[in-house]
Amino acid sequence: MPAAGMKFALDVKGMAALIKKLDPDNLMNPAIAKVLDEAVEIGVSVAKSKVPVDTGKLQESIQGKVKYPAAIVFSPLDYASHVEYGTRGGAPTGRRYPPINKLRAWASSHGVNPWYLMYKIGRDGTKAQPFIKPASDAINAQLPLLVRDASKAIAKGWKKKKKR
């Protein structure tokens, strides 16, 4: 008879108990959630310490969210990426000029002509002032320690379950 037509069942003694011990809801998820929470806390703290502060609006907007099994540190403000990465200059046409209405409030609070500011940014661009990248670097530096602690917590939970 050809092997493709054969059917068999395998019952491994203790498999159900092993699966129960490996139940991610009981052992791994809490440890991983703690890693994500701590990573977000580090990221938000570093980003807020590195972001340039003028009005404080950008700094206050920095937040972190954990949506298991991922986490993110971000700012929802539309100009956050321009601060993080800077902007290119060289605007021979109007395509690279920032919108004047977005510049008016800042320009008036600093005693600058908004039209001049628009022209200057379009011509010269803006310098990058990273705050998310340093936050990412800080998280990556701490991640091995966070994962080690999570591994220890999982191992400790495993031992407790094993004794039962």
pLDDT of 79 > 80? The answer is yes
**Among 20-24, 60-64, 91-95, 147-151, the range of highest mean pLDDT:** 60-64
Q: Which two tokens stand for residue 14?
A: 């203790």
pTM, rounded to two decimals:
0.75
For the chain, which residues make up each domain, given as ranges? 40-86+127-145, 91-125
Specify the pLDDT at position 149.
86
